[in-house]
Amino acid sequence: MNKGLNVHSEIGALKKVCVHRPGMDLVNMKAEDFDRVWIHDAFYLDYAQKEHDQFTDLLRGAGAEVVYMEELLAETFDKVEGTRAEFMTKFMGESGISNAALRQAVVEKLDSIKDNKEFVLAAMGGLYVRDLEIPHVGGSLASLDGDELKGDDMVLFPMPASYFSRDPLAVVGKGATMNRMYWNQRNREVIFYETVLRNHPDYAGSPIWYDHNSEWHIEGGDILNINAKTLAIGISERTQTAAIDELAKNMFWGSDEAEIENIYAIKIPHGYAYMHLDTVCTQVDRDKFTVYPGIYQTLRAYRLTKGDSEGEVHIEELEGTLQHILELATGMDHITMIECGGGDPIEASREQWNDGSNTLAVAPGKVCVYERNVVTNDALYKAGVELLVAPSEELSRGRGGPRCMTMPFWREEI
């Protein structure tokens, strides 16, 4: 078993990968609350879990050890004294519950759960008024606020987007970023991973490249490991340029353990169908990338390198096509761009909606894809890419693909 973190590429053989198996966190909300909890459909949980299990079986079959975030966090609580209490403090700080009586009721409910894995799943699954014992204390209007609450009023929001393990963090080299999420509702997800990486015996001491408490938001779907010395980062709705600036300073002028020397910042359109760089572009082989052709017209790119003075970052705007920029980043003479939907604008738009470009490489030239994106999958197959095809009728409802659902912890070097 590989301990620690080791990710220097997008395509090195996948040896350990972290996921979250969806549970009540995916379904414990009313339809009118979808926007509040940041999910956009009513899932059939049994089928979603079956699809997720088949997906992880594909990864195991390709040689990867699959670890579950909820189990790693429970192990952390079991093995390291005081971590559960520290987690609860941070978790409640991100809960958004302002009413003191409701907040205390949530703490008491979660604290009453002795089994650590059950505790983790309950914290993710959300709590309603009917789940809590809420004290009725006089003396102020604020303390009486709970008197008008209904049993089906949500108090602790569930975390339905948490099966997208890619976004709260990004493993880069031997360390990881702890991200500031675009949607405040998702910021609690980061605390789960941060607690593991700071305390679990297998990961404690891993460098942290970006602080979750930073002012600027950045998400893991925008961060691609091109090689040990090069990152590509999307400038997107979810990742701000100021966050990239901060990460670059941390990488270039911070820990001696940081290996990154070049960061390519690539601007993509803002939109629900292309929320991260990895929803429009992923690497599938040493010289092959998937791409959604809709990003060509808005392309702007920059290269960030270490400056001459302490803390300085040199920024150069790049000219040329996305293909040319990826050739610069990878050092390859020629990059083949495999277009989502086979280049047909109608098929590209349809399959991009279901993350046709969001592939997960398990080895060079071998990737996991959603079965429903038949045109894109055919284009990949014809380009010589081996496909591991995952069912996706339910999982795709969350608007994220195989890469979105995973966070590699260990890849072999290439």
Check: CB of residue 322 under 8 Å from CB of residue 295: yes
Query: How, if at all, do strands 360-363 and 336-339 pair?
Result: unpaired
Q: What is the rounded CA–CA span in Å between residue 307 and residue 184?
A: 33
Q: What is the rounded CA–CA span in Å between residue 392 and residue 234?
A: 25
Catalytic: 404? yes
For 71, the token pair is 């189990």
Annotated active-site residue in 18, 281, 340, 404: 404
Q: Which residues are annotated as catalytic?
A: 404
